[in-house]
Structure 1
Amino acid sequence: MTQHFSAQRRVWTLALASTAATALLPTRLAWSQDVLAPAAVLATLERVADWQLANPSRHRPDDWTQAVGYTGFMALAGVSRNPAYRAAMVRMGESNGWKLGPNFYHADDHIVGQTYAELAMQLREPRMIAPMRAHFDSILANPRTGTLDFKVKGNQDRWSWCDALFMAPPAWLRLTAATGDERYAEFALREWWVTSDYLYDRQEHLYYRDSNAFDQREANGRKVFWGRGNGWVIGGLVRVLQYLPAAHPARPRFEQQYREMATRILALQQPDGLWRSSLLDPASYPMKESSGSALYTYALAWGVNNALLDRAAFEPAVRKAWTALAANVDPDGRLTHVQPIGLAPKVFDAQATEVYGVGAFLLAGSEVFRLAHR
């Protein structure tokens, strides 16, 4: 495995290298000296991260809720000079024994592997991915091939709900990057399109949360497309594209879906800069929502930073979204307006917070920080 941490890994991380090299280019557009200024963005990120570290979630440490938070801490570690954020992730991995969650096939219990793999590559520590690799090898040897119908027992052994596309595929791609073994990426890419063929509405360019939503309608008669659910998907697209080489034959198809969704999401942004928990019936759910909005901000800012989206068209939306998200942070660093755990649009308490919302916020802000420097 050691040799994979050199030559073969460089092949799979080529796309990231160009991002890192351009992350701190001189500013081409004027960013005002307020919440959008690079120093202010970073200060807000660190304030939110510090609050989360001081007020840890009660979910189990390998739970998906926590693991989404970890993705954000890893992103923050990439732009902050404070070593505490990556150190906290290493401590978490050591405490978990570098194991995935207990539900063997379930995508939610694979997401923690994204952080393990990133740490393994950064610190050149193959032991950090050894349990994950054994786990995924067993899945490859015994793959599930059943229905994606959400009403059928056992269906969650496959990626039958849209959230799964943020949770699992990026972990599989990162394991290929860490080991050079392309079987993991091949599995993830193949299964992505199985899920997409089932849940993606090609007219709306949005994903149903799961098969239960196919026949549901909002109060205004429109189809039900959950805000955070589609945030999971477009965020998952970003996290796949980060580790999918530019010359990979599957990349054009992923880029096409990413641009389709980004264009649709841009059109659904609300006047205050955020998105609502129901994308097509915002009037029925008028409350601000931080977690889905942060995932969209992350995805759109990343696309501008990596020249997949037109800067003139998308940067204003990113700036507006970040300004609104920053306003949802209390003075002590507590992120508010986070829709609680669920699977559909919902009315909720404006003061609600959750660690996965913090993770999405940190992902978004790290890309906004890079955008402010370009």
Structure 2
Amino acid sequence: MKLTRRSLSKMLAGSAATVLAASRLPAQAGQAQGTTTAPHENMAAPEAISAADRKGLEHFPKGYTPQEAGKAVAEHFVTSAHYHLDRIVYPEVCAWYGSLEFARVTKDQALIDKLKARFDPLFSNEAALLPPQGQHVDFSMFGALPLELYILTQDKRYLDLGLQYADKQWQKPDAQGLTGETRFWVDDMYMITIVQVQAYRATKDAKYLDRAALEAAAYLDKLQQPNGLFYHAPDVPFFWGRGNGWFAVGMAELLRDLPASHPKHARILQGYRTMLTSLLKYQGKDGMWRQLIDHDEAWPETSGTGMFAFAMVTGVKNGWLDHDAYAPAAHAAWTGLVGYLDQNSNVTSVCEGTNKLNSLEYYLLRKRRTGDFHGQAPLLWTAAALLRS
């Protein structure tokens, strides 16, 4: 029998009660799959910070600082098992990249060394874990990781490996010049563009920025709706939280490097600002956004919230967004997100991996995971963004 919105609301309310009961149980280490757990016991309540400080991005209560939360999650990543045993896939790449960015902005050489040591066996006895090159967007995204290691170490092995992925991604562009991996799913916009942006950061070759900007503009034209948000795909008219998060992060990462004089800059900045304006309207009083952004009956979700926080922090710090409007929203999102960090440095209430389906209940009833790299990564990105000058 097809679920109605009323029956869904009842079901979700019952699920929320189960989550509240489960939150009193201790969390398991690693990528435990479950519901929310209590945050660190030594944290001060976020209400302890003054209203004036909430208007900025510098002051957070004990336990909520980007230094503390980022360090805890990055160190936890170092000892985490691979996401899959047979290959490195994009959620692990995202958390690895976030850990490296956090280590970079905090000048934590010991952490960089640990993250490098996790990667180096891929050149030898664990080479089977390397994903296929350029055959699918989820695999190609791996190239962003060795490029980050090259930027940090200047070891040419990482550059050569990363550029293999970046260049093969554009080996057979279509008639518009888009990568052959283009399928117009909302999350792909980040997966594709971050590899090209990283290739630009590593080489300063403008062709990589041109590719990323062309792709971003095409995805904007195809998927952004009049309210500024994005459908998961043209045939799936739902504003999925993490899907929109991928797009927000993708635009913010690209705009960090795209010159204002670039022919696609104005289009991407306009799309970014339109989206962020809409997001302000849907943010909850707890600082969170929901699994389906425009559905009050949906549950507060951490990975999308972390991604939106990153996009807002980056926009405020670069002057693309109005400080007085967006800094308080970013502050609330960060403190809300860190409140979902359990005593084992696992982010809770992370939406499970999600394919696309034209079904409301499919999105509303997605399972909540604890410690999933989809959720660990955005917290790390945002911690680094908060600390980045």
CA distance in 2, matches of 1:349, 1:141: 37
Read off the aligned partner of 1:205 and give its amino acid letter. Answer: G
CA distance in 1, matches of 2:67, 2:88: 27
Q: 1:267 to 1:33 in 2, by over 3 A?
A: closer
298, 309, 318: which one aligns with 1:306: 318
Tell me how far 1:362 sits from its aligned partner: 0.7
Tell me how far 1:65 sits from its aligned partner: 1.2
Confirm or deny that 1:365 pairs with 2:377: no
310, 332, 335: which one aligns with 2:344: 332
Cα offsets for 1:35-79 (capped at 9, x unmatched): 487xx3311221122223333343255201111112211221123
Q: 1:312 to 1:226 in 2, by over 3 A?
A: same
CA distance in 2, matches of 1:337, 1:46: 20
Gaps of 5+ in 1: 1-26, 149-154, 215-223
Q: 1:138 to 1:366 in 2, by over 3 A?
A: closer
CA-atom RMSD in angstroms: 2.8
CA distance in 1, matches of 2:338, 2:55: 23
Residue 5 of structure 2 is matched in structure 1 by none
Q: How does 1:150-169 map to 2 (within 5 A)?
A: 157-169=181-193
Q: 1:30 to 1:327 in 2, by over 3 A?
A: closer
CA distance in 1, matches of 2:369, 2:354: 16
Confirm or deny that 1:208 pairs with 2:231: yes
Q: 1:35 to 1:227 in 2, by over 3 A?
A: farther
Q: 1:340 to 1:129 in 2, by over 3 A?
A: same
Read off the aligned partner of 1:115 and give its amino acid letter. Answer: L
Read off the aligned partner of 1:34 and give its amino acid letter. Answer: P
Query: How many residues are aligned here?
Result: 324
Tell me how far 1:355 sits from its aligned partner: 1.1
CA distance in 1, matches of 2:62, 2:355: 32
Confirm or deny that 1:276 pairs with 2:290: yes
Read off the aligned partner of 2:370 and give its amino acid letter. Answer: A
Percent identity between the aligned chains? 25
**What is the TM-score when the length of structure 2 is the normalising length?**
0.75
Confirm or deny that 1:34 pairs with 2:61: yes
CA distance in 2, matches of 1:317, 1:267: 10
Read off the aligned partner of 2:338 and give its amino acid letter. Answer: A
46, 53, 58: which one aligns with 2:78: 53
Q: 1:157 to 1:29 in 2, by over 3 A?
A: closer
Tell me how far 1:333 sits from its aligned partner: 1.4
Residue 50 of structure 2 is matched in structure 1 by none
**What is the TM-score when the length of structure 1 is the normalising length?**
0.78
CA distance in 2, matches of 1:28, 1:196: 30
CA distance in 2, matches of 1:73, 1:30: 20
Q: How does 1:1-374 map to 2 (within 5 A)?
A: 32=59, 34-35=61-62, 40-60=65-85, 62-97=88-123, 101-102=131-132, 104-144=134-174, 157-201=181-225, 203-214=226-237, 224-283=238-297, 285=298, 287-343=299-355, 345-348=363-366, 352-370=370-388
Q: 1:354 to 1:84 in 2, by over 3 A?
A: farther
Tell me how far 1:269 sits from its aligned partner: 0.5
CA distance in 1, matches of 2:180, 2:280: 31
Q: 1:141 to 1:273 in 2, by over 3 A?
A: closer
CA distance in 1, matches of 2:150, 2:255: 19
What SS is found at the alignment partner of 1:211?
A: coil
Tell me how far 1:29 sits from its aligned partner: 5.1
Q: 1:35 to 1:56 in 2, by over 3 A?
A: farther
CA distance in 1, matches of 2:353, 2:133: 18
Tell me how far 1:195 sits from its aligned partner: 2.4
Tell me how far 1:351 sits from its aligned partner: 5.5
